[in-house]
Amino acid sequence: MGEFGRLYEQQYAVALFNKMRYDIEGGGGPQNQLLHRKVPLKNKSIFSGALFQYLEENKKWRNRFLFIPDSYNINYYENKQAHDRGLHPKGTINCAGYRVLTSMEEYLELLNTSLPGVKAKVGSSPFLKCATQFPLILWHPYARHYYFCMVTEKEQQKWNAVFQDCVRHTNNGLPEECKVQTPTFTDAVRLYRQTHGHYGTWDMMCGMPPQILANLVMETLLPEMRDLITPKLKGKMHERQRNWMLISDAVYGLVQSQTQAQYEAVVQSCEAGRPPLETTIRTDMDQIITSKEHVCSKIRALVLPKAEKLLKVSIQPYISSILDALMEPTSRGFFEVRDLFFRELVDMSKNLLNDGNKEKLGEHMEKISMLAFHPVKMQSCYEKVETLSLEGLQQRFDVSSPSVFVQRAQILMREQMDDAVYTFEQLLHQSLEGQEGEDLCKTTQRCQDRVIKKFDYDSSTVRKKFFREALLQIFIPYMLKQLSPSCSELPRFQELIFEDFSRFILVENIFEEVVLHTVMKDIMMAVKEAAVQRRHNLYRDSIVLTNSDPNLHLLGENPPIDWAEEYGGGQEEVDGENAGDPEAQKRRRMKQVVSMIQIEGNASVLPNESCLEVPTVDNIPEEEAEVRSENPPWASLLTEAFLITTVAVSAAMAGKTHLIHGIYGYRDAVQVSWNK
């Protein structure tokens, strides 16, 4: 952390200079055609429902109620009533760095790599038996693992989509709008790893800065800790694995607390020293730029011949093949985003044609407005890009896994979907004055056509930028690793920099800029040729979409549209049942992006046993945002019957014959109710 802090202070001054220079000189690039929503999930939650969770404290499965707010952290409660009463959750899971596994075989395969020489048999569980055949496991290389089970495959698929979205969102923890702190942090981490011989993308660089730094520490600490502790672990294989996981989680928690404190201290120190740095930069901007260009020319003369030779032999032959590998699945994913957006609007138009009034429109738009954040609906888009493979190229260019590129593409897809939906909302809302019936459908169609045209243009721009960034992530670390040994005389160029400017001009940064510019020309040319071929519906750089909506971006400043409230959807429920109750109105506004897995009926919980209050497949509505207030009488009986069956099987397996007799008596009582 001391070494990282030194690098952070150095890179802070450089990032501040780059940011202020960019603000003065500006940067080109095509203007986005779609609007961008400022606070997408205001007054929204993602998902909630009941499932089974394995509790390591007593080694039992218990029914838990999970609630996922807009932060994408998973909160789990004793039951739904505890959440509704506003009690603190039993625990909270931050999913950064986790992987979601859907089978015990996958989990065992990863678990067997944690302790050398300690292997579990495939097909057996390490220290637990799943309550059902549909598990979901949250696995982390250092932190605690979490085990869940669902009753049906459909539930498993829904929860899997939600968990994957939580991981995807929390991994993307570095805010891009922080033009100084974010590049400072990423450059400091990258340079720290390069000084220790680690080049290339880093799969564990996910989450907020303290989590990333904790991963950085554990990357070195864990092997040493394993060598020290493994010989001292006693007991059966499963116990050793379980104890090792508990130790790793405890150490990881300690490391996170220390890295957070030290990171906050170094950030505060840099921010406190920012005003004098800004004054120096404003005063001496031209001299700093001139000095940097002078040093850059000297370094370029040394590095360029070696870099061009390496580029010609080891990079250029592979650019087109890697670009094809990136373009195919990414473009399929963006096409699926476009199709999903189109299908949702077509379905809405069909319904409006049958019953075309603004109240119905408000109901449909309430659902469409959160389409980008609906993990289940967006899953078909995300799956397209998961086929991305860099097989054969990973070893050559030290790319450990394509997961970094997959998650980045998925995040861009979600942003594009939300931009398209938000633009459609604003255009439609502006055009709705006095429209009814057939006119309403025509207005919807016109707005849809305009948005899809803008989506195609922005999609092309976003993908081309993504392809360029991905190729740089693959090639730059490889080139730096190959060129660094032959450029050992670089430190002497620091003498050419005036001492007053030495904080803003660093030789190692200039060296990397020279290498980047060397390969950038070939990458730009490859992407440009791909756009000319139009194989993946990419616009050529020379094509500029004329701004057909000169006042469109003014709409982006409007307040968010509450479709249900403005067009009367859902208002009757509050007026009739909870008029004047601000808490009820707040709960109504706090709607879920995905419909809740409903707990049907009021099944009684058997004492000292696991409880099963999970519905069947038919009782998992995809679209209903509100829980039904009244349930049919047979729903409770079905839940109780399922409860009896499951507990009876568990009791029989455990040999608890006295419990089985009690269960049969309870079953007879339920059967009487069923017959009635």
Summarize pLDDT for 89-112 with one digit per residue, the tens.
Answer: 999 999 999 999 999 888 888 888
- Amino acid 305 reads P
Q: Place 648 in a pLDDT band, splitting at 50, 70 and 90.
A: low
pLDDT for the residue 28:
62
pLDDT tens figures, 586-604: 544 567 888 655 443 333 3
The CA-to-CA distance between both ends of the chain, in Å, stands at 70
**Higher-pLDDT residue of 499, 451:** 451
DSSP, collapsed to helix, strand or coil, labels residue 469 as helix
- Spatial strand order of the sheet with 99-101 comes to 91-93, 74-77, 60-68, 47-55, 146-150, 134-139, 99-101
**Is the sign of the CA dihedral 14, 16, 20, 22 positive or negative?**
positive
Residue 53 bridge partners (DSSP)? 62, 148
CB count within 10 Å of CB 426 equals: 23
Three-class secondary structure assignment of 252-284: HHHHHHHHHHHHHHHHHHHHHCHHHHHHHHHHH
Q: How confident is the model at residue 668 (pLDDT cuts 50, 70, 90)?
A: low
- 3-class DSSP string for 18-64: HHHHHHHHCCCCCCCCCCCCCCCCCCEECEEEEEEEEECCCCEEEEE
Taking the CA atoms of 157, 162, 168 and 171 in sequence, report the sign of the dihedral they define. negative
Query: What average pLDDT does the segment 13-29 reach?
Result: 86
Residue 41 lies in a domain: no
| Residue 459 within a domain | yes
401 versus 298: which is more confidently predicted?
298
> Residue 406 contacts by C-beta under 8 Å, 6 or more apart in sequence?
385, 386, 388
Provide the pLDDT for residue 573: 43
Rounded to two decimals, what is the model's pTM? 0.82
In a domain, 407, yes or no: yes
Average pLDDT for the chain: 82
Q: What is the mean pLDDT of residues 254-258?
A: 95
Q: Does 442 fall in a domain?
A: yes
Decide: helix, strand or coil at residue 152: coil
Q: What distances in angstroms separate CA 67 from CA 16, 82, 495, one per listed residue?
A: 40, 11, 58
Instruction: Find the helix or strand (DSSP H, E) in which 650 lies.
Output: helix 633-654
Q: What is the percent of the chain where pLDDT is above 70?
A: 78
Transcribe 613-648 into DSSP letters: ----GGG--SS--S--S---HHHHHHHHHHHHHHHH
Cβ(614)–Cβ(597) below 8 Å = yes
- pLDDT band of residue 212 (cuts 50, 70, 90) is very high
| Full domain range(s) for residue 409 | 325-489+542-552
Mean pLDDT of 379-399: 84
Please name the helix (run of DSSP H) or strand (run of DSSP E) that holds residue 132, with its range, or none. Answer: none
Over 70: is that where the pLDDT of 628 sits?
A: no
CB 643 within 8 A of CB 612: yes
190: tokens are 């990258």
Residue 379 has phi, psi (to 5 degrees) of -60, -35
Q: Give percent of the chain with pLDDT exceeding 90.
A: 47
**Number of domains within the chain:** 1
Q: Does residue 660 sit within a domain?
A: no
**Does residue 175 lie within any of the structural domains?**
no
pLDDT at 185: 96
Q: Is the pLDDT of residue 671 over 60?
A: yes
In a domain, 363, yes or no: yes
**Dihedral (Cα; 358, 359, 365, 370), 10-degree rounding:** 160
Answer with the residue of higher pLDDT: 277 or 120.
277
Give yes or no for a contact between 625 and 67, defined as CB atoms under 8 angstroms apart.
no
Domain assignment present for residue 238? The answer is: no
